Amino acid sequence: VNEVRVTYVPHCTFGSHSPYTLNRMVVSLNVGQLAYTFAITCTALSAYLVFKLGLTSRDAAQRNAQFRSLQLHFLIPYLAILLAESIQAPYLYVLYHVYGFLPGQISILYVVGLTMNVVSTVLTVHLLSRCDRRMLCLCCVGSGSLACLLKFSDNYLILLIGRLLDGFSAALITSPFQQWYGHEHVMSFDFPKEWLTSTFTLLSLVAGFLSVCAGFIAEFAESISSVTAFPFFFAILFQIAGGCYIMRVWPSNRLEPEHRIPLQEQFVKAVAIFKKKPVVLVLCTIHTLFESTLLIFIFVWTPLFVHSKAVLGQRISYGVVYAAFMSCALLGSVSSRLYQKHVMATRVICASSCACLVALVLAVFVIPSSPSDWSTYLFDILLLLFCLFEFAVGSYLPSMNKLQTDLLPPEHRSSLLALLRIPLTIISCGGMLFLHSGSSDWQIVLMGCILLSLTTLCALLLHLVSSRNTPEQINDHFVLKLNTNVYDSQDDEDDLPQGLAIG
């Protein structure tokens, strides 16, 4: 369907579980056309905000030629690997669906990958203290490439092995790369730690634009070959290119022996932080609930749009829909960076979690309980709501990263975030296993609404405490101060250290 369609919907319900009906003439665009419009518009607007409003202004770091050289040596292969990871996203569920697996079998494949990821994340904390970081980066590339290769098989056991490799690769895609760069930045080149922000801000912005490109690359790969697994071949190419660059250019580095801490001791100290600083517990609760919802959304959006083939007469462009989502997230992230100096991060988290909640609540009413009740109009509305959700996610992430930098002790940050993967995975896997029916997934979206409701309440609590207490007070007591005459003392030794831990 390549033209604007005019569809008459005599009694279009927002799902049989909803009392609301429509009885009117509806002018509706094809979902792919609407997604393409969103992707181009939001990406162009994001580019305007970045280049015209000074988000890429050259600071002292960018005027240093040696620093720019190190930055490029880090960003070129890492962005290629991140691009490869994004290319896989649009067609993963579709691939399993095309192979003929039942919804329950597909859920198990996802759960296996997530379970392997949480185990590997905990293991990564240990490996980073013992092994060469460059070698771990190459392990990420190798396991990710092999996982993509195995997806060309429709054998369920082979696909399970591929998901195990996916989980292992995903656990290595962040910390080893960033710690390698941190070591080179501070220890090898003796650049100021303040310049680290320049690199990671640039990384975040470029990765956002590349994630939009990844959707179009995946769509191009699938369309020219008519093979659903072909986007994974493109992912292999980018991963191999990044891996070859790392082997050729990156030097080896590792944590010095005097800075190594046993794995058990790392996690014991990380758990002790929850008791010592309750604000960290609240922040981690928000992170866990929100990330669980995000994992559920990543899983459920594709099966919801699978039903479009029966309505539109052809399969929608999943890569373009993914690009639309990523462009909205990019616009939200760029917009958040513009006002983060003037608005408290906790306020942004409250607003973004509330916006996500509204989007998913409305989506619950839009999703029919029967596949036969879908219409072009409902798909368009669902796409709009999911784009709103992604915009709010994009606004949320920079603020959460800022709060984690400010409140989580840098020497225990990796351990804390690894521990959070455990409840996060349990929650999301439970929804995938028990609520994914294949005919209607409004129940699993409703679960996301419940999680976001709890997220919003915790975010509101954190904001109230942060706005009524000084940073020193919330680091220690986390008191919701109702009387402005009350003063809580704070020992100097309780101050949270700032910056990135480099060893």
**CA–CA separation, 400 and 235 (whole Å):** 29
- Rounded to an integer, the average pLDDT of 219-238 is 94
Confidence of residue 48 (pLDDT cuts 50, 70, 90): very high
Query: Which helix (H) or strand (E) is 190 found in, with range?
Result: none
Tens of pLDDT along 297-342? 999 999 988 877 777 777 789 999 999 999 999 999 999 888 877 8
Residue % of the chain over a pLDDT of 90: 54
What is the reported pLDDT for 27?
36
Domain 58-260 and domain 263-503 have a common topology: yes
- Rounded to an integer, the average pLDDT of 459-488 is 60
Instruction: Find the angle CA(377)-CA(381)-CA(386) to the nearest 5 degrees.
Output: 145
244: Cβ contacts below 8 Å, ≥ 6 apart: none
Dihedral of CA atoms 27, 365, 370, 451 in degrees, nearest 10, equals: 130
**CA–CA separation, 207 and 57 (whole Å):** 18
What is the reported pLDDT for 470?
56
**CA–CA separation, 196 and 143 (whole Å):** 28
**CA–CA separation, 231 and 235 (whole Å):** 6
Dihedral of CA atoms 461, 467, 472, 474 in degrees, nearest 10, equals: -10
* CATH annotation of 58-260: 1.20.1250.20
**CA–CA separation, 398 and 404 (whole Å):** 10
Confidence of residue 496 (pLDDT cuts 50, 70, 90): very low
pTM equals 0.86
Confidence of residue 56 (pLDDT cuts 50, 70, 90): low
**How many Cβ atoms are within 10 Å of 500's Cβ, its own excluded?**
18
Confidence of residue 494 (pLDDT cuts 50, 70, 90): very low
N- to C-terminal Cα separation, the chain: 57
In the block, which residue shows the tokens 């962005």?
79
- Rounded to an integer, the average pLDDT of 31-46 is 92
3-class state of residue 22 by DSSP: strand
3-class state of residue 445 by DSSP: helix
Asked which of 207-221, 350-364, 423-437 is least confident by mean pLDDT, the reply is 423-437
Please, what is the average pLDDT of the chain? 84
The amino acid occupying position 9 is: V
Does residue 211 register a pLDDT over 70? yes
**Domain locations in the chain?**
58-260, 263-503
What is the reported pLDDT for 352?
96
**CA–CA separation, 140 and 138 (whole Å):** 5
- Rounded to an integer, the average pLDDT of 82-108 is 95
Cα 325 from chain centre: 12
What is the reported pLDDT for 441?
79
**CA–CA separation, 10 and 23 (whole Å):** 5
Asked which of 23-37, 152-166, 198-212, 273-287 is least confident by mean pLDDT, the reply is 23-37
**CA–CA separation, 228 and 193 (whole Å):** 45
- The residue with greater pLDDT, 400 or 313, is 400
| Burial class of residue 140, CB neighbours in 10 A (0-12, 13-18, 19+) | buried
- Rounded to an integer, the average pLDDT of 206-232 is 95
What is the reported pLDDT for 78?
97
In the block, which residue shows the tokens 């002292």?
60
Contact 456, 354 (CB under 8 A): yes
Does residue 386 register a pLDDT over 70? yes
Contact 224, 96 (CB under 8 A): no
445 closest CA partner among 373, 381, 368, 502: 368
Does residue 19 register a pLDDT over 50? no
What is the reported pLDDT for 1?
34
- The residue with greater pLDDT, 38 or 473, is 38
What is the reported pLDDT for 318?
94
**CA–CA separation, 143 and 158 (whole Å):** 14
**CA–CA separation, 406 and 498 (whole Å):** 6
Tens of pLDDT along 168-198? 999 999 999 999 999 999 998 988 888 898 8
| Burial class of residue 464, CB neighbours in 10 A (0-12, 13-18, 19+) | middle
Contact 246, 389 (CB under 8 A): no
Q: For residue 237, what are the β-bridge partners?
A: none
Contact 492, 404 (CB under 8 A): no
- What is the fold of 263-503? Growth Hormone; Chain: A; (1.20.1250)
Does residue 71 register a pLDDT over 60? yes
Confidence of residue 77 (pLDDT cuts 50, 70, 90): very high
Asked which of 204-218, 241-255, 407-421 is least confident by mean pLDDT, the reply is 407-421
Cα 355 from chain centre: 17
Confidence of residue 472 (pLDDT cuts 50, 70, 90): low
Does residue 480 register a pLDDT over 60? no
3-class state of residue 12 by DSSP: strand
The amino acid occupying position 253 is: N
**CA–CA separation, 267 and 269 (whole Å):** 5
Contact 304, 450 (CB under 8 A): no
- Rounded to an integer, the average pLDDT of 447-467 is 92
**CA–CA separation, 299 and 291 (whole Å):** 12
**CA–CA separation, 270 and 281 (whole Å):** 11
Confidence of residue 499 (pLDDT cuts 50, 70, 90): very low
What is the reported pLDDT for 381?
93
- The torsion angles phi and psi of 380, rounded to 5 degrees, stand at -65, -45
**CA–CA separation, 90 and 317 (whole Å):** 9
Asked which of 310-314, 383-387, 464-468 is least confident by mean pLDDT, the reply is 310-314
Contact 212, 327 (CB under 8 A): yes
148-176 burial: b if 16+ Cβ within 10 Å, else e:
bbbbeeeeeeebbbbbbbbbbbbbbbbbb
Tens of pLDDT along 270-304? 888 888 888 888 999 999 999 999 999 999 999 98
